[in-house]
Homo-oligomer: A and B are copies of this chain.
Amino acid sequence: MAETGIDGTLEDRGPCSAGHSGSGLIKDVLARIGDKWSLLVIGMLDAGPQRFTALHRNVTGISHRMLTHTLRQLQRDGLVSRTSYPEIPPRVEYEVTPLGRTLIEPVLGLVRWADAHHDEIQQSRAAYDAEL
């Protein structure tokens, strides 16, 4: 089994307290995709370019503030591009970048895993909660 990856690449090899430079690493990527909304937004944008309001409608529970913020982060990381059309009223379209698209694939791996095993997990949780 390839144990080459996890402890060799996930870990920082050093005190992460100071957030030093060095390896850079996965932690901030996890921080990005692990947050509450990024994946949902990317998932929505995967269906095609969308304007702000459309996203706000489609991403179900997201607040105005968080949508803005999430889009900013994704844009900063180069996963999503923002195009503003100087009209009245203003129109802004968001789109997944090529880099962003490459992320979708590995994420789908996780999605499939979750889909395949979430009932096992449910059972395990039920069993665990039962024995007290």
Asked if A25 contacts B77 (CB within 8 A), the reply is no
Cα-based distance from A122 to B59 in the complex (angstroms): 27
CB distance from A69 to the nearest CB of B (A): 14
For this chain, the copies found in one complex come to 2
A interface, size bucket: 35 or more
A114, CB-defined interface residue at 8 Å: yes
A118, CB-defined interface residue at 8 Å: yes
Cα-based distance from A132 to B125 in the complex (angstroms): 48
A109, CB-defined interface residue at 8 Å: yes
Partner of A120, one of B6, B34, B99, B121: B99
Instruction: Report A's interface with B, CB cutoff 8 A.
Output: 1-3, 5-7, 9-12, 14-17, 24-26, 28-30, 33-35, 39-40, 42-44, 46-47, 60-61, 75-78, 99, 101-115, 117-125, 128-129
